[in-house]
Amino acid sequence: MEPSGADYGDTMSGDSIRLHIGHEEIVLRRRYELISIANDISIALCFIVGSILFFRESTTTAGTWLFLIGSIELLVRPLIRLVRRVHIGRVGAAGAETARDF
């Protein structure tokens, strides 16, 4: 058993594979998934509201700022993934990536 309490062995029985991962890893994956989803929603809102603000000349500057903020959030997206990968690696599950990882 790993120090974190996780069992990373897999067991094959018939057509199914069971993979045992620690509770801490699952919690981390869920937290980073929520952060990523919140960031994606924020990006969309910045670009939608920024686009609407471009319809009037008096609000074009505010729209430009929202486009800039949305663009910076696009940079934050891979940073969230990188921090998540490092954090999960520290709990001892670096090789447990899945196709569903964001």
CA 71 to chain centre: 17
Mean pLDDT over 54-82 rounds to 95
Kindly list the distances between the CA atom of residue 25 and the CA atoms of 7, 32, 35, in Å, as whole numbers in the listed order: 11, 11, 15
Tokens of 74: 């696009």
Average pLDDT, the chain: 79
d(CA 15, CA 88): 28
Confidence label for 8 from pLDDT (cuts 50, 70 and 90): very low
Q: How many CB atoms lie within 10 A of CB 2?
A: 13
